Chain A
């Protein structure tokens, strides 16, 4: 009833090929953006911003990065955490060596360093496929984790062996460091994520995205029609690592305010992989769903007993969280192996014909 396209005529090819052809979709997107940019900061709830929204956005970006590699190109990667770390440490070195340059520029530039490392570890992808490639990325993960501790130059010889984020300002307002307010940081993270999602959306709907999906679906056929496999795969690694690197820089600078090698360990890689799988392989909206689900669910579970007046020890809540997350992962995989994005699509489909069943 509400979601009908009847009456919406397209008068140009561009309008017809738009990503959101239905007006309601576009309105919905604008509504979401308004809520994100205006309503949430105005609500001012520090916990919501600091502990829910900022990490959700950071992980959503990393999930988009991994999704580009695993979902769109079909190359399973378990090195996401390490690539995020490369971005974070690169940003730290750049910020401390060139303190006068705006930190936001460095956050984005650090992605290129991560892209470079990603390409290096993606080089085996021509000879190795599928699972075996995952082991190659595991090598990247453990090797880079080791480097983050063992190369003191990376953390400026700090005694703590950790990145200590200096206070930096943008347009006169402190953006990183302890004086930066959650609202400021949230808006910065949100802007970067929105911009990069827009970029990813264009990539994915264009020629490059189609090349990636061709490689994923049947790489021999793709080669036959003229797609250069090596270059496509390396480009996928590069772009994916770029996104992960920026996400990592934001994690260190705009969320935690500190980071060390353990912040980018194998568990982080698994976490992002869960988000990709639950959200849906090969879907950008799915990346956001997956990140929200995997990040938000433990928080809800942790706070729910308190809100309902039950007193359960913190450790038991932790255990229950693990179990519920695990069980829900299995549940979602059974119910909808294509992830939350597919459920969303089905939901929209049903809405289009609502209140009729078909």
Chain B
């Protein structure tokens, strides 16, 4: 009886008595959801265009952030470092396309997935060798990203909104809007969708696969850079970020692997669900449930709707 009370009644009582904490939790969930969504966005971009599940997206986030901070530490002014990092990500996209994707055209998906694993390892080793293993501080101030918090007095307590989180949410939405427009309205966007459907058919229509892949990996690289800046500004830039990118998988499950708005919605659902679950139900189970809650949510979701909220229904043909 007591246990039932603790599971079903007490959390809501807590929500009622401390509504400022509830709003704070919701806000924290929103923010982390947006950041998960940014990582998932990178996945979606590449998956949509090349059918490759880019496991290296997480390490690309870290690598981009490290390049930026590393260049700045070498003495390059902040915005020039930013531009140079963009160039580096372009270079990375070209290298990946030439050395990894081109030889693996038309291989089964699992092979390409594993190749991105290899890429992850290469980037981890390269990143640590060039930039060193110790965590770095993101150059948020130099990039004119806001610092500090706005403490809103409400509901009997206060809700602390970190300005950097607000900036992250805004930037993420702008990025999503830009990408959505890019995919729907521009010629390259249509070409990307064609390539996602079938490599061979796209080739036969005259779409250059190589160019498209470079474009899409570059776009994913830009998203990775933005994610790295945002995430690095909130905590440190270190290789521990790479594991967090695994959290993007439940986001993709919820949102569908090929949908950009789905990535955002999925990210928010996962982020909010995770934080609410950890805060109100976590102490029951001994806390620390954040590490697996997202996957459980995704799993339960999968049992009822395997293609996700926005994904395409898979029709099986014998």
Contacts and interface: CB of A to CB of B under 8 A. Distances in A.
B291 A142 contact: yes
Given A266-B246, A270-B117, A322 B292 contact: no
B126 interface: yes
Interface size class of B (residues with CB under 8 A): 35 or more
A322 B104 contact: no
Given A124-B302, A150-B288, A142 B118 contact: no
Contact of B289 (A146, A327, A329): A146
B299 A136 contact: yes
Interface of B: 53, 99-100, 103-104, 107-108, 110-111, 114-115, 117-126, 128-129, 133, 243, 246, 249-250, 253, 257, 285-286, 288-289, 291-292, 295-296, 298-299, 302-303, 306, 316, 318
A333 interface: yes
B302 A330 contact: no
A135 B250 contact: yes
Contacts of B104: 333-334, 337
A221 interface: yes
8 contacts: A139-B292, A139-B296, A146-B289, A274-B117, A319-B128, A325-B121, A326-B121, A334-B115
A289 to B, nearest CB: 15
Interface residues of A, number: 45
A326 B125 contact: yes
A128 B299 CA distance: 9
Interface of A: 76, 124, 127-129, 131-132, 134-136, 138-139, 142-143, 145-146, 149-150, 218, 220-221, 266, 270, 273-274, 277, 281, 315-316, 318-330, 333-334, 337
Contact of B318 (A221, A281, A327, A328): A221
Contacts of B299: 124, 135-136, 139
Given A132-B253, A146-B289, A146-B292, A330 B115 contact: yes
A127 B303 contact: yes
A258 B253 CA distance: 36
A128 B288 contact: no
* Closest 9 pairs (CB-CB, A-B): A326-B121, A322-B125, A329-B118, A323-B125, A139-B295, A326-B122, A142-B292, A330-B118, A319-B129
Contacts of A337: 104, 107-108, 111
A146 B288 contact: yes
A330 to B, nearest CB: 4
Contact of A128 (B114, B250, B303): B303
A210 B249 CA distance: 32
A329 B129 contact: no
Which of B115, B288, B303, B316 is packed against the most chain A CB atoms within 10 Å? Answer: B115
